[in-house]
Structure 1
Amino acid sequence: MGYLRNKGNRELLKAPAPKRQKCDHWSPCPPGNFAYRILSGGGKGKRAKICFEDEQLVSEWNDEVGSGINIAIVNYKTGKLRATNFFEMWTGDHSQQMMDFIRRAPPGSLILMATHDDGSSRLKNEAKILVEELGSKEIKNIKFRSSWVFLAAKGFKLPDNIEKEKINHSDKKRNRYNGWPAEIQIEGCIPRNLI
């Protein structure tokens, strides 16, 4: 609760700091919803971050983040992490490992994905088709150092009104990171009663 006090001839209103919300949302998710935020990497040093229900599943503070495509798989029923991994796409072909990782996710899983640096150079078309089958509309548009974030459900459908995907391409002339991609994010609330 705020209060007024007189300081000289001015009255000052002192208000409490806003309460921190899950995954740093501005406002809380309604009861019966999961909070999520997926942030791509940006520049050379800003790594991808994936937050679900206020747990940092992928961040610069753990070893489950890297260049390429970062993925977290969450059990939709419990909201608990099943697995995380990243698949480097610049120096080697890790498309098959990424496809195997996604295919091993059981039905009833949420799949949260974010790029850092380059997620496209050695990404095979079969991997793009698999991600497209999960609902991506932008996976085939990823270019060198594009920033891309994506949320998918395996074995069930997410509501149409939640933010599921965003892409941004690097632009050397206008980019604050000299050709490295700027970070982008999606966030929102997922109802818990979809399956």
Structure 2
Amino acid sequence: MRCRGILEIFAVLAGLLILLWGLAITFDIKNNPLQIVGFHYGEQVTDLSGDKSKRCSLPEPCPPESFPFHIWSGAANVVGPKICFDGKVIMSHVLNNVGSGINIVVIDGESGAVEKFGFLNMEHGDQNHIVQYLKAIKPGSIVLVGSFIDLAPRLTDEVKEIFEGMGSGMIKTIKSKDGWVFAGKAGAGEKSLFEKVSVNDKETNIYDEWPRAVEIGGCFPKTLPTEDDPKTSGEKEKI
């Protein structure tokens, strides 16, 4: 009986610790004072590499000239989005590196290297900083986006035009608390095949004020070197 009582006490304490840990993560995500976060902590990226067909939860392997990716939007204001690229989870609620607004990962389109990632606070962030951040993304870069809570407050016409230039065909339809996932390429000039919107509708919402989470995944084509690329030009001269 005494041992049983001790075990019950340990079980209660363990439950309290887990609850406090969960609350700490939620508080940190919702109350992070930074307007724009552009961090890249390599040790926080979860490596899921191995069999190509299993990278980022895709059922089939990707062709050699493409990268596997998978994006999940946030669920209501509780669970943040998740962005996986080439077998590595770069952003997620578990890693505690997501935030309200636009969660974004920028990838070198040729090598597949992660250039930067973070979130643009679309509720309280500085509008000029948001625009500058997006405009600084180099042409040819792969851009992965997963929304969380609400991205509409600072979704200005200028921001919409920038994402249209990356291939978004749905950005102008997004309203308050809609869910959005998108994979495009800076300077693409053509519509991306990888984009979904979950519409905020009181009659169909499953999270009270928010719609169901939405996801996309697939094989994103690598960026081919351009003719004016010094490396490419040098190779041609040698031939």
Q: What TM-score bracket applies, with the shorter chain setting the length?
A: 0.7 to 0.9
Structure 2 matches for 1:14-53, cutoff 5 A?
A: 21-53=54-86
Q: Residue 12 of structure 1 corresponds to which residue in structure 2?
A: none
Contact 2:81 2:92 in 1 (8 A): yes
Deviation at 1:172, TM superposition (A): 2.1
CA–CA distance in structure 2, aligned partners of residues 124 and 159 of structure 1: 20
For the aligned residue pairs, the C-alpha RMSD in angstroms reads 2.3
Residues 1:125 and 2:157 aligned together: yes
CA–CA distance in structure 1, aligned partners of residues 150 and 141 of structure 2: 26
Q: Residue 205 of structure 2 corresponds to which residue in structure 1?
A: 175
Q: Which runs of 5+ in 1 are unaligned?
A: 1-17
Answer 1 or 2: which has greater helix percent: 2
Structure 2 matches for 1:1-195, cutoff 5 A?
A: 21-90=54-123, 92-156=124-188, 163-192=193-222, 194-195=224-225
TM-score, length-scaled by structure 1: 0.80
CA–CA distance in structure 2, aligned partners of residues 139 and 102 of structure 1: 14
Q: Residue 6 of structure 1 corresponds to which residue in structure 2?
A: none
| C-alpha spacing 1:29/1:158, structure 2 compared with 1 (3 Å) | farther
> Could you give the per-residue CA deviations for residues 100-158 of structure 1, whole angstroms, max 9, x where no partner exists?
12222222311111111100023222111211222211111111100011111124567
CA–CA distance in structure 1, aligned partners of residues 58 and 110 of structure 2: 22
Contact 1:128 1:139 in 2 (8 A): yes
CA–CA distance in structure 1, aligned partners of residues 148 and 133 of structure 2: 18
CA–CA distance in structure 2, aligned partners of residues 30 and 39 of structure 1: 22
Equivalent residue letter for 1:87: L
> Could you give the per-residue CA deviations for residues 36-84 of structure 1, whole angstroms, max 9, x where no partner exists?
1111111222211111101112111334311111111001111111001
Structure 1 residue matching 2:169: 3-state secondary structure: coil
Q: Which runs of 5+ in 2 are unaligned?
A: 1-50, 226-239
Query: Percent identity at matched positions?
Result: 33
Length, aligned pairs only: 175
CA–CA distance in structure 1, aligned partners of residues 152 and 64 of structure 2: 38
Answer 1 or 2: which has greater strand percent: 1
